[in-house]
């Protein structure tokens, strides 16, 4: 509820007010109907104290049970289910109050049953209508609005990439955020709950994940987006040359120290480390691609060319020639390593444990795999 209020204060309050108005209207209609049913002795005046109880209980249910959770982005079936829960809870609480006080003697049960029934119908109908109106009136953007989830390292690049492709990044969800409140006037959220509330109440269209291992999509956010019908898109770069932090010593006889940290400098948790040594110049290795494994390659000593092939565009070569340079490789790239200098050392940090089944070692299979993946991605994009 705190998040709802923080990210969509007025919209959230408007639903609370709407609910209370619906409840008053439902009671007026119910008491009129009761009179028309021939029970002329009954009047709204008698019913008034019950209505006050109903309003207080309704407010309590809304706040205590969070029944307006993500109301703005609930689909119709979910709306019906949640409204039914809200009305049922309110009814049970009212019944408990009436049972335990002498008020129970003065009220007409039929009016209360009728009022809650009418309230339920009004609640569903008006929630749907109010949502539609809010969406129509408050959404002025021509380009899609988005929440970007990334790490510190890829933040600016992620924003630039999305902006260039016509997406308006409204919010950033930074993993391992450094307690920043905003980036270039873009809102910043720091937890899955805040991210979900922001997407809902600020009516964002999409979620983009940039530069993160696919398996790091947070479970709760993923589930909430599914329920709100919001697509999570992974914006992939296939490879990236990184500058690794290196601390040189003033006195060269003490050498230099380089380091990197999992999830901060590279977007995946490290599950495996391996290195290739005792090499001759002009050694060729590799000739495979990975289906899941993300890697960081670096050459702390010597010089090694890494030739990359995505199966459709021109091959690219990245030369690793010192401790301060790393090559981040996402899955789905065919690679060949060529040792330019004997004794060069290749070190690899990997996101997965060793599993021969996730290697593609045949080039034709690789091309077929990439073609199929491209088709699936395009189909998924056109579904939205």
Q: Would you count residue 275 as binding ligand T46 (CB under 6 A)?
A: no
Q: Would you count residue 6 as binding ligand T46 (CB under 6 A)?
A: no
Residue listed under structure tokens 């021509």: 142
Span between the terminal Cα atoms of the chain, in Å: 29
Residues 339 and 280: their CA atoms lie apart, in Å, by: 7
Task: Choose the stretch contacting ligand T46; rule: CB under 6 A; options: 49-57, 191-199, 241-249, 271-279.
Answer: 271-279
What does the DSSP 8-state code read for residue 127? H
**Rounded to the nearest whole angstrom, what is the least distance from the CB of residue 150 to ligand T46 in the complex?**
24
Cβ proximity to ligand T46: between 249 and 342 the closer is: 342
Cβ proximity to ligand T46: between 44 and 369 the closer is: 369
**Rounded to the nearest whole angstrom, what is the least distance from the CB of residue 284 to ligand T46 in the complex?**
9
Q: Would you count residue 144 as binding ligand T46 (CB under 6 A)?
A: no
CB 366 within 8 A of CB 333: no
Select which of 47, 214, 284, 288 is catalytic: 288
Cβ proximity to ligand T46: between 22 and 289 the closer is: 289
Task: Choose the stretch contacting ligand T46; rule: CB under 6 A; options: 53-61, 117-125, 252-260, 270-278.
Answer: 270-278
Structure tokens that stand for 332 in this block? 């789905």
Q: Would you count residue 286 as binding ligand T46 (CB under 6 A)?
A: yes
**Rounded to the nearest whole angstrom, what is the least distance from the CB of residue 315 to ligand T46 in the complex?**
16
- Looking at 348, 358, 363, 373, which residue binds ligand T46 (CB under 6 A)? 348
**Rounded to the nearest whole angstrom, what is the least distance from the CB of residue 210 to ligand T46 in the complex?**
23
Q: Would you count residue 354 as binding ligand T46 (CB under 6 A)?
A: yes
C-alpha dist (Å) from residue 133 to 27, 82, 139: 25, 20, 10
Phi, psi at 226, each rounded to 5°:
-55, -45
Residues 269 and 351: their CA atoms lie apart, in Å, by: 6
Q: Is 47 a catalytic residue?
A: no
Residues 23 and 119: their CA atoms lie apart, in Å, by: 6
Report the DSSP beta bridge partners of residue 186.
183
Report the DSSP beta bridge partners of residue 232.
207
Cβ proximity to ligand T46: between 44 and 287 the closer is: 287
Structure tokens that stand for 258 in this block? 């380089």
Q: Would you count residue 283 as binding ligand T46 (CB under 6 A)?
A: no
Q: Would you count residue 285 as binding ligand T46 (CB under 6 A)?
A: yes
Q: Where are the beta strands (DSSP E) in 330-383?
A: 334-339, 345-350, 359-360
Q: Would you count residue 338 as binding ligand T46 (CB under 6 A)?
A: no
String of contacts with ligand T46 for each residue 296-315, x by CB under 6 A: -x------------------
Residues 252-280 as b/e (b if ≥16 CB within 10 A, e otherwise) read eeeeeebebeebebbbbebeeeeebeebe
Q: Would you count residue 117 as binding ligand T46 (CB under 6 A)?
A: no
Cβ proximity to ligand T46: between 226 and 343 the closer is: 343
Report the DSSP beta bridge partners of residue 169.
146
The set of catalytic residues is 288
Which residues contact ligand T46 (rule: CB under 6 A)? 272, 274, 276, 285-286, 295, 297, 337, 348, 354
């Amino acid at each position: 509820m705190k998040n709802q209020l923080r990210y969509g204060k007025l919209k959230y309050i408007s639903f609370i007010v709407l609910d209370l108005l619906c409840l008053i209207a439902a009671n007026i209609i119910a008491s009129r109907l009761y009179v028309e049913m021939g029970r002329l002795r009954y009047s709204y005046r008698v019913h008034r104290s019950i209505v006050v109880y109903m309003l207080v209980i309704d407010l309590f249910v809304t706040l205590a049970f969070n029944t307006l959770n993500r109301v703005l982005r609930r689909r119709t079936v979910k709306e019906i289910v949640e409204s039914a829960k809200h009305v049922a809870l309110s009814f049970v609480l009212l019944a408990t109050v009436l049972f335990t006080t002498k008020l129970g003697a003065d009220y007409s049960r039929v009016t209360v049953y009728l009022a809650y029934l009418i309230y339920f119908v009004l609640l569903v109908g008006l929630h749907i209508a109010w949502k539609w109106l809010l969406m129509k009136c408050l959404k002025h953007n021509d380009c899609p609005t988005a929440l970007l989830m990334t790490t510190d390292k890829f933040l600016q690049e992620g924003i630039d990439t999305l902006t260039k492709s016509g997406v308006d990044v409204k919010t950033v969800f930074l993993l391992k955020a450094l307690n920043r409140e905003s980036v270039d006037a873009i809102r910043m959220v720091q937890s899955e709950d805040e991210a979900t509330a922001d997407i809902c109440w600020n009516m964002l269209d999409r979620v983009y994940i940039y530069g993160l291992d696919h398996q790091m999509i947070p479970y709760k956010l993923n589930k909430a987006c599914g329920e709100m019908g919001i697509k999570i898109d992974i914006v992939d770069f296939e490879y990236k040359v990184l500058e690794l932090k290196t601390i040189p010593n003033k006195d060269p006889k003490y050498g230099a120290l380089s380091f990197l940290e999992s999830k901060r400098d590279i977007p995946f948790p490290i599950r495996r480390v391996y290195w290739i040594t005792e090499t001759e110049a002009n050694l060729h290795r590799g000739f495979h691609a990975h289906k899941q494994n993300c890697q960081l390659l670096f050459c702390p000593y010597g010089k090694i060319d890494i030739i990359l092939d995505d199966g459709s565009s021109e091959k690219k070569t990245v030369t690793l020639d010192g401790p301060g340079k790393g090559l981040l490789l996402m899955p789905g790239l065919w690679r060949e390593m060529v040792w330019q200098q004997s004794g060069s050392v290749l070190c690899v940090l990997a996101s997965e444990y060793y599993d021969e089944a996730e290697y593609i070692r045949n080039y034709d299979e690789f091309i077929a795999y990439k073609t199929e993946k491209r088709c699936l991605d395009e189909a998924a994009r056109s579904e939205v």
